[in-house]
Amino acid sequence: MSQRPSIEVASSSITQQASPSQSLPSDRDEAPPSTQEIQQKPWKFIGYKGYSAFLASEDDFFILRRFDELNRRVALARQDEIMQLEQELAELDETYSKREMQDFDNGTLRGDLEDRKALLELIDGKLYRYNEFLLQQSNLRSLSRAPRRDVKSIRTWHKKFGGAAISPSEQEYLDHEDDLVCIVQRDKTPLRRLIDRSLTMRSLPIWELKNKEKPFYYGDEVSYYSDKRIDRFASAVIVTVGVVMLITPIWVLQAMGTLRAKLGVITAFVFVFLLVLSSAMVAKPFEALGATAAYAAVLMVFIQLGIED
């Protein structure tokens, strides 16, 4: 595979093409590059246009660095800068409050001394930037870490073109996996995450988008799949399991003769219900316990109805 040209060479070629004595070929006259040409010069025919299109094809691929260490260092620097200004203001207040000083009016803002007023204006600007920065950091901390499978998918894209479509040094941000975050936050059920982790399940033809247009350089190696279809499938599975968990105990309890046997069945179904709820749905622990308690109450009603009969 040919090497990426240097910036100087690229700039020189662009200058030559843009000279008035030469005319650029029109898009209508030029045939698309062949597969061999793309593999030899992916930096020319794909580049950042193709890379951006790939990242935009899936929200999960919108992954960037958070720069945790740099952000903390900048925060500390801005904090220290404001602390120095705070100290200067305190020294001014102390100076103008001394007995031997002229009787300055320290009880007014409208008629305050110019040096103190200027210092307060400077502090105001610094504080605004600092507070805005803190709010940004608070929002950044809410972003979840990028899953390794998504980072691996991006690396696979680079490997498809021999790592030459994008400058190697500009791919290095993917090496900081602990610092990578997903910009688009999506709550996925554990079942949906299981499908995403399984190449076999994720590539089933039932949710493939066959009519979606693909870039010419992908060929048949890349396929697009519908997130909506996968989400609907996961929801259908969860609903089906829920219905089974409600109907099955009714018939099982009806067949049981003793109260001890019925309690054993209820215990088993409550345990299975909690396990399914925790593994198949996005639920917090107290929400899962609340739903399980309601489920157990429904089963106890079934027992009560059976006793009355």
Other C-beta atoms within 10 Å of 218: how many? 14
Residues 172 and 225 grouped into a single domain: no
Same domain, residue pair 229 and 258: yes
Question: Is the Cβ–Cβ distance between 280 and 241 less than 8 Å?
Answer: yes
- Residue 31 Rama label (left phi>0; alpha psi -120 to 50; beta): beta
- Taking every pair of Cα atoms in the chain, the longest distance, rounded to a whole number of angstroms, is 100
Asked if residue 235 belongs to a domain, the reply is yes
**Of residues 176 and 199, which shows the higher confidence score?**
176
**pLDDT surpassing 50 at residue 4:** no
Q: So what's the pLDDT on residue 6?
A: 39
| Residue 205 contacts residue 179 (beta carbons within 8 Å) | no
Q: Same domain for 175 and 151?
A: yes
The model's pLDDT over 125-182, given as tens digits with 9 standing for 90+, comes to: 999 999 999 999 999 998 989 988 889 989 999 998 899 999 999 999 999 999 999 9
75 and 134 in contact (C-beta within 8 Å)?
Answer: yes
Task: Residue 164: count other Cβ atoms within 10 Å of its Cβ.
Answer: 19
Residues 155 and 216 in one domain: no
Distance CA 124, CA 127 (A): 5
Has residue 168 been placed in a domain? yes
Name 275's Cβ contacts closer than 8 Å, sequence gap at least 6. Answer: none
| Number of folded domains that form the chain | 3
- Mean pLDDT of the chain, nearest integer: 80
Whether the per-residue pLDDT at 207 is higher than 60: the answer is yes
- For residues 103 and 48, membership in a common domain is answered with no
Percentage of residues in the chain with pLDDT exceeding 70?
80
CB 147 within 8 A of CB 167: no
Mean pLDDT, residues 222-235 taken together: 78
Q: Give CA–CA dist 226/303, Å, rounded.
A: 44
Distance CA 258, CA 116 (A): 86
Is there a single domain that holds both residue 177 and residue 192?
Answer: no
Are residue 279 and residue 295 in the same domain, yes or no?
yes
Q: What whole-number distance in Å separates Cα of residue 167 and Cα of residue 243?
A: 53
Asked whether residue 6 is assigned to any structural domain, the reply reads no
The pTM assigned to this predicted structure is 0.67
Does the pLDDT at position 19 exceed 50? Answer: no
Domain extent for 60: 35-66+145-186
Mutual orientation of helices 190-197 and 227-255 as an angle, nearest 10°? 120
Residue 18 placed within a domain: no
124 and 170 assigned to the same domain? no
Q: pLDDT tens digits for 67-116?
A: 999 999 999 999 999 999 999 999 888 877 666 767 677 667 776 778 88
